[in-house]
A = this chain, B = another copy of it.
């Protein structure tokens, strides 16, 4: 059924039926002028928003609409994780050209709702608008964080260890395999899944903060190299990254080698990973290594150390030390050019 046959209010009814609203803390969801929520008083609130636009962030020739729905919420949840918070609820705006069918919109909302249920972040409202061409999705998330416990980008101290959760390179591998018409996607299942339906590290962030009192945190949306620079800049510090410590996924390693690229360099430029980059006091890490805590070491890798600003942002490869120059992905470098 075409959107023109149901109208905006028919569409809103459709969405209401797809997006379940749990009662707890959500007093009023989709359908009024605004949603109404009642978070706990001892918490501060987090607000974040992320937009994905067709032809820039996704290509519907190889991205299933349902996965796009998941991802549009997941990327905003990743920001809440990177602040050390937990989601309360979200608002979803979709901009659609006339080619879309009601079934497409339902698929999109199914994907959003799967993610909303998985991470306990109900959709409480939004807007549905027409575009002349090309679709977009914008998700705003309201989260909460225990007052004073938020993890800012600016909290790192010189001497802190720089760490990253998980393994990198999978998202870029997934994207490039999907873009290559002659590579079977079944050869890179983890990478495809990672690119299409990234997992915001909400539980992991909670555990890291509880166990390790992390001093700063940021999520990897633009690529490791780029995020290291942000963390350093916001904390007014330098750092030394140890190249051999950067965790690269098995599939990313294989794919980079197939392309004739160095796996670590490939992984450092991989955007949309949504792992967490964070800093921690080395004494706390020692204590954990000595068994006085339950944090699983497999969960993250120590990839460097924060230095004074004057020491610059550098990377050690074997015995050589170079400035860290590999740029991550900047949405706006494409402006005026190829994209």
Counting chain B CB atoms within 10 Å of each CB, the highest count among A33, A55, A136 belongs to A33
Residues on B with beta carbons closer than 8 Å to the beta carbon of A53:
95, 129-132
Interface-side segment among A81-89, A237-245, A298-306 = A81-89
CA distance A174 to B313 in the complex (A): 55
CA distance A124 to B48 in the complex (A): 9
A208 within 8 A of B: no
Given contacts A125-B49, A127-B138, A129-B53, contact A36 B150 (CB under 8 A): yes
Interface string of A68-103 (1 = CB under 8 A from B): 000000000011101101000101010110100000
Given contacts A4-B337, A333-B4, contact A80 B134 (CB under 8 A): no
A45's contact among B7, B45, B126, B218, by CB below 8 Å, is which? B45
Q: Is the CB of A126 within 8 A of B218?
A: no
Cβ distance A336 to chain B, nearest Cβ, rounded Å: 3
A120 within 8 A of B: no
Q: Is the CB of B125 within 8 A of A11?
A: no
Q: Is the CB of A138 within 8 A of B335?
A: no
Residues on B with beta carbons closer than 8 Å to the beta carbon of A9:
330
Q: Is the CB of B335 within 8 A of A34?
A: no
CA distance A337 to B83 in the complex (A): 44
Residues on B with beta carbons closer than 8 Å to the beta carbon of A91:
47-49, 140
Q: Is the CB of A44 within 8 A of B27?
A: yes
Residues on B with beta carbons closer than 8 Å to the beta carbon of A44:
27, 36-38
Cβ distance A99 to chain B, nearest Cβ, rounded Å: 9
Counting chain B CB atoms within 10 Å of each CB, the highest count among A32, A91, A129 belongs to A32
Which positions 120-149 of chain A face chain B at CB distance < 8 Å? 124-134, 136, 138, 140-143, 145, 147
Apart from A10-B332, A38-B45, A98-B337, list 16 A-B contacts with CB within 8 A: A7-B332, A33-B79, A33-B218, A34-B85, A35-B47, A47-B140, A49-B127, A49-B140, A51-B138, A93-B138, A95-B136, A128-B332, A129-B136, A132-B134, A133-B134, A140-B140
- Chain A residues packing against B (C-beta within 8 Å): 2-11, 27-28, 31-39, 41, 44-57, 78-80, 82-83, 85, 89, 91, 93, 95-96, 98, 124-134, 136, 138, 140-143, 145, 147, 150, 152-154, 217-219, 234, 330-337, 339
